Amino acid sequence: MLVVLNNKCNFEKESFKKYIKELNKITTANEVVLCPSNIFLSDVKLKRKFLGSQDVSKNSSGSYTGEVSAKQLKSINVDYCIVGHSERRLNNRETNEDINLKIKELLKYNITPILCTGEAKDERLNNKTKSVIKKELQACLKNIDKKEKVIISYEPLWAIGTDDIPTSSEIEEVIVCIKDILPNNRVLYGGSVTEENIKELNKTNLIDGYLLGRVSLYPKRVKKLLEEIK
């Protein structure tokens, strides 16, 4: 299983040092990717874990104040990068076209994109979940070879940061739909995953892994969760 830890905009220098010390004590057969704040990417020393970024610029280099490019990420050994997280789509008005350009940049530099996709609550209530996801995947992966190892993370917007999660069968239905389009890609689930609900979620053998937000900030909880899915 692949477990992505999305720290979002959390930790400062000292608290991050303590966090890494604890995180590095965890041993697991699962593949763990840590996505810390950009400021920590270049000097974090991870044991048995991979390094990921939470976002990337759609441009390779040049006059783009505040941006970090795929080329720069590669130069500090970043292997994975989250793209299209709903918080960026909402707060930064990121479009599917922007995300498509970002994925192309990442692939150019051999960084594995973790593409987030998911429906809003009203879309689910109106039976539009599958059509929203198909549309997002088509647009975000436009002109990208199906053989590319893009990881998809199914993240219903209404489940992120809310403690409200879809049932296992609702998740399964969406994963089947994603795997119909992309049979060879790994598909994760993200949105209020905890060490408590992981057992139930993991009964679905279609899920290839999980993306954790809040729980990622607590190494003890991460450890418990990893133990449940070994």
In this complex, which beta carbon is closest to ligand PGA, that of residue 6 or of residue 100?
A: 6
Q: Is 1 in the site for ligand PGA (CB under 6 A)?
A: no
In this complex, which beta carbon is closest to ligand PGA, that of residue 73 or of residue 188?
A: 188
Rg, C-alpha atoms of the chain = 17
- Helix, strand and coil in the chain, % to nearest 5: 40, 15, 45
Considering only 34-42, 88-96, 129-137, 206-214, which stretch makes contact with ligand PGA by CB under 6 A? 206-214
What minimum distance in Å lies between the beta carbon of 33 and ligand PGA? 13
Tokens (6 digits) for 212: 């954790």
Q: E strands along 102-230, which residues?
A: 112-117, 151-154, 187-190, 209-212
CA distance 72 to 109: 9
Q: Is 191 in the site for ligand PGA (CB under 6 A)?
A: yes
The H or E element spanning position 4 is strand 2-6
Q: Is 115 in the site for ligand PGA (CB under 6 A)?
A: no
Q: Is 52 in the site for ligand PGA (CB under 6 A)?
A: no
What minimum distance in Å lies between the beta carbon of 108 and ligand PGA? 25
Among 156, 190, 209, 219, the residue binding ligand PGA under the rule CB under 6 A is: 190
CA distance 34 to 79: 10
Q: Is 6 in the site for ligand PGA (CB under 6 A)?
A: yes
DSSP SS3 for 68: coil
Q: Is 156 in the site for ligand PGA (CB under 6 A)?
A: no
In this complex, which beta carbon is closest to ligand PGA, that of residue 69 or of residue 88?
A: 88
